[in-house]
Amino acid sequence: MTDLSSQPAIEITNLTKVYAGGKRALDNISLAIPRGQIYGLLGPNGAGKSTTINILAGLVNKTSGTARIWGFDIDQNPRNAKNSIGIVPQEIVFDPFFTPFETLENQAGYYGVPRDRRRSMELLRAVHLEDKANAYARTLSGGMKRRLLVAKAMVHSPPILVLDEPTAGVDVQLRQQLWAYVRELNAQGVTIVLTTHYLEEAEELCDRIGIINHGRLITDKPTRELIAMAQEKVVQVTVDRDLDAAPDAACFEKVELSDPRTLTITYMKNRANAGQVLSAVQASGLSIVDVVTRDPDLEDVFLHLTAAA
């Protein structure tokens, strides 16, 4: 028998989804999300992120391909697959007449969690909603509702938590709280998958990132490797006198005069290095007073990769 614990948290093989009407939302995607990680599924709007999550959640039927959750095939073992994953949906949907406490109790009942093993109050505490336990859900703010959704996704203690665009409409402070909780869960061993189109978010949180565009997986790599793929580097050079025009050199990809004494130079790190760029500035008769370099971020990689796809 196969040892399930050696399998990825989520394994998707040749997954395709064609919606009624003919839209091909997923086109033969294969992807393995390792256990214990915070994994970011990135892509522009309409890329196919929600479709992927909804197939895993059992809300959308796939057209072809297979998906395994914690080793359980979603077709052959739907109950175990479902019990292994908690999903925080993009849309906020609650019965407005239940309190947060009741909402969690109902959800636990739905998953068949016995009463003595329910932990509704503990979950409410974890998402800072303890004092709202008995308020009507409709009186909660948007941020509170989202936190309640996170608690709701965790009632059956799944080993995987999926957050679909978790910070849409969430203010900065709540976002930080949400991330703190997500990190805490991850430290306890929960595998986290989040979809986002905010690159900074993925860059800050995720160990590994997959990028999808037009229903295809264009890359799947550790975050650090992905950032290293950005070839464009920018260096800002301050010189000792005012300039009328920026000098040019073969190793510059682009050069701009940001102010009379500051040159913003873009170069491709596979073709030149900072030393060559600075030598070229000096060779044009200028003295350098200061230098600032900027590391490429995911935005650069993302634009580069989605443009190429």
Positions that interact with ligand ADP (CB under 6 A): 19, 21, 23, 25, 43, 45-51
Min separation Cβ 280 and ligand ADP, Å? 42
Alpha helices in 36-138 (DSSP H): 49-56, 78-83, 100-110, 120-126
- Shortest separation between residue 220's beta carbon and ligand ADP, angstroms: 16
Cα separation, 118 vs 107, in Å, equals: 10
CB of 134 to ligand ADP, least distance (A): 35
Q: What stretch of H or E contains 113? A: none
Closer CB to ligand ADP, residue 53 or residue 281?
53
Alpha-carbon distances of 252 from 153, 203, 256, 265, rounded to whole Å: 51, 28, 10, 6
> In the numeric block, which tokens belong to residue 157?
């203690």
Nearer to ligand ADP, 140 or 165 (CB): 165
We find the least distance from the C-beta atom of residue 146 to ligand ADP, in angstroms, to be: 17
C-beta of 19 vs 110, nearer to ligand ADP: 19
Q: How far is CA 59 from CA 52, 87, 147, 229, in A?
A: 10, 11, 22, 35
Q: What 8-state DSSP symbol labels residue 258?
A: E
If the CB atoms of residues 83 and 196 are measured against ligand ADP, the closer one turns out to be 196
- Minimal distance, residue 43 CB to ligand ADP, in Å: 5
Mutual angle of helices 172-187 and 142-153, in 10-degree steps: 10
C-alpha 219/C-alpha 205 separation (Å) is 18
Residue 45 CB, nearest distance to ligand ADP (Å)?
Answer: 4
In one-letter notation, the amino acid at residue 128 is: H
Instruction: Give the strand pairing for 38-42 and 262-268.
Output: unpaired
Distance CA 270, CA 267 (A): 9
User: Is the Cβ of residue 101 or residue 302 nearer to ligand ADP in the bound state?
Assistant: 302
- 10 or 129, CB closer to ligand ADP? 10
